[in-house]
Every structure is written in C-alpha cells, then in structure tokens.
Amino acid sequence: MPEIVSTVLFLFINGLIWGLIVALIALGLTLIFGVMGIVNMAHGDIYMAGAVLSFYVVGMFGNFWLSLILVPVIVILFAAPLERLVLRPYEGYHSTSMIATVGISFIIQQIALGIYGGIPKKISNPWPMSFNFLGVDYPGYRFLVAFISILILAGLWLFLYRTSYGILVRASMQDREMASAMGIDVNKILITTFVLGCVLAAVGGVLAAPIYQVFYLMGHDVILLSFIVVIIGGLGSLKGTLIAALALCSIEGVMASFLSPVQAKAAIFIIMIVVLMRRPRGLFAE
C-alpha cells in the first residue's frame, strides 16, 4: 500500500475515533440545549474535569478503567445540585444561560488550575498494544476508545428510543410545555438530562486523557469544535450532531495531513459558514 494512502487512512481513522469522542461530548451539549434550553459554555470544562479526575483516579488506584466508573459517579454528585440550585433560573433563556455558564466555566477552570496545576501531564497508555491493519500500526488503546464510545452511543440510543423514560426526555426536547401538561415530572427530566449531558462530556474526557495531554485549558479546543459540530448538525438534533461529529472530525483528520492543525480548523469553520448560508438551522434541524 502506497505510503500516502496509508497515512491518510491512518489520519482518517484517528479522526473518526476522535469524532466518536466528540460525538459523546456534542450529544451532551445538544441534549442539554434541547431539553433545558441552556447553551452550556462550560461543557468543554466538564470534559476537562473528566480528564483531570481520571488522572487522579489513576494516581490513587493505579487503574485507568476504574475512572470509567468513578468519574461518572463524581460528576453526578456535582452536576445534579448544579442544575437544581444554580442553573434552573436560566433555563429557556439562550443568551443568559450562555453567559451564566461562562461564569461556571471560569470557576471550574480556576479550581482545576489550583488543584491540578497549570502544567500539562500525561496518563500512561492503559493498553499499549498495537494492531497492524492494512500495513499500518494502530495503537490498540484507540480501538478500545472506539469500542467503548460505540457501546456508550448504543446505550444512549437504547435509553432515548427504547425506554419510556428516555422517550419522555425526547418528548421534552420537542415541546416542554406539552410534556409538563401531560403530567411528566419535568423537574426530574431536567436533572436527568443535565447529569446525562455532563457525564457524556466527562467520559469523553476520560477516554481522551491517555491520548492527549491533560491540561486545565483542554476544554477550549473541544468546546469550539463541539459548537461547530452542533451548528452544522443542528442544535437539538441528535442524529445531526452524531453525523456532523463523525464527518467533521474525520475530514479534519484527513486535512491535517497536508494542512496545519489551525488551517484545518479554519477549513471546518468555512464549511460551517457555507452550511449556515444555506441552512440557518443546521443540516438536520427539526
């Protein structure tokens, strides 16, 4: 296989796997917006918190996979009261909630800076195996990431489309007043959705941690990318977010073979503008 093709394939698959992680994060963002009407500017920092927490879990227990269980638990403990006590008044107010979550973003960042520090650190590879696929060596851990992400996505799909509670969540996305009028406990749905969104972002952070360095500002790149994904896919559209995440990250991955990372990001940005000019609500908006 000619080297250029295998390089591009490598970058494409890397991009696709990163796209799976971004899909988790962006789906959390879309769910939070769809059900709660909150534009969560702190979403990238929750991703960062997941990565930082997994760093400490690895440090304390020596086991990386444990963080896949512990981090969601910790996130639930913090996210539930955050929604109930802090975010509730801003729900439904798109601009106000964006500014409010900026405030939360600063707080999370500074706490991370204070406790974790400003130096990027690495988590050692939890599965230092590699597989040879079509003549190129792929890191085994990344395949595991893909596998776990797909499992989570499948679980999310099952939850939202096959359980009665999940269907209620989707109903609330369509029309919250109607859902409330039908006697659905909107209070519980709001907390559940926010916690679910945050857990998705945090787990994304856990999975990403061994691949990329853990840094207290790592949320910035991710929130920018997630926003672009959600705008192209359609804010509030689960299908659109998933497709946009996978497509954009693989495209960006391939472009990184001949463009610099920033140039690739700018190219994605141009794609977003083109999409917006034709579809102001994204490709798959309801």
Residues forming contacts to other proteins in the complex (CB under 8 A) are 33, 39, 41, 86, 89-90, 93-96, 98-100, 102-107, 109-111, 113-114, 220, 223-224, 227-228, 230-231, 235, 260, 262-263, 265-266, 269, 272-273, 276-277, 280-281
Nearer to other proteins among residue 88 and residue 130 (C-beta)? 88
Beta carbon nearer to other proteins, 84 or 122: 84
**SS3 category, 59:** helix
Record the tokens describing residue 108, joined without a space. 């999370």
Which residue's CB is nearer to other proteins, number 26 or number 70?
26
Do residues 218 and 212 lie in contact, with contact meaning Cβ atoms separated by under 8 Å? yes
For residue 126, the minimal CB distance to other proteins (Å) is 30
Nearest to 53 by CA among 160, 155, 173, 203: 203
- Give 67 or 226: the residue with its C-beta nearer to other proteins: 226
Name which of 86 and 134 has its Cβ closer to other proteins. 86
Whether the CB-CB separation of 102 and 41 falls below 8 Å is answered with yes
231 close to 278: Cβ distance less than 8 angstroms: no
- 103: tokens are 């405030």
Least distance CB 39 / other proteins (angstroms): 6
CA geometry: angle at 238 spanning 162 and 76, to 5°?
Answer: 75
On whether the CB atoms of residues 250 and 146 are closer than 8 A, the answer is: no
Q: Please, what is the minimum distance in Å from the beta carbon of residue 284 to other proteins? A: 14
Between CA 111 and CA 122 the distance in angstroms is 19
**Cβ distance to other proteins smaller for residue 120 or 135:** 120
Euclidean distance between CA atoms 123 and 117, whole angstroms = 15
The size of the chain, in residues, is 286
Cβ of residue 285: shortest distance to other proteins, in angstroms?
10
Closest distance of CB 32 from other proteins, Å: 12
Compare residues 58 and 228 and give the one whose CB is closer to other proteins: 228
DSSP H/E element including 33? helix 3-36
CA distance 146 to 17: 6
> Of 57 and 198, which has the nearer Cβ to other proteins?
198
Query: Minimum distance from CB of 141 to other proteins (Å)?
Result: 28
DSSP-based three-state secondary structure for 134: coil
Shortest distance (Å) from residue 233 CB to other proteins: 12
Is the distance from CB of 93 to CB of 37 less than 8 angstroms?
Answer: yes
Token code pair at residue 122: 């690495």
Q: Please state the closest distance from residue 227 (CB atom) to other proteins, in A.
A: 5
d(CA 228, CA 206): 22
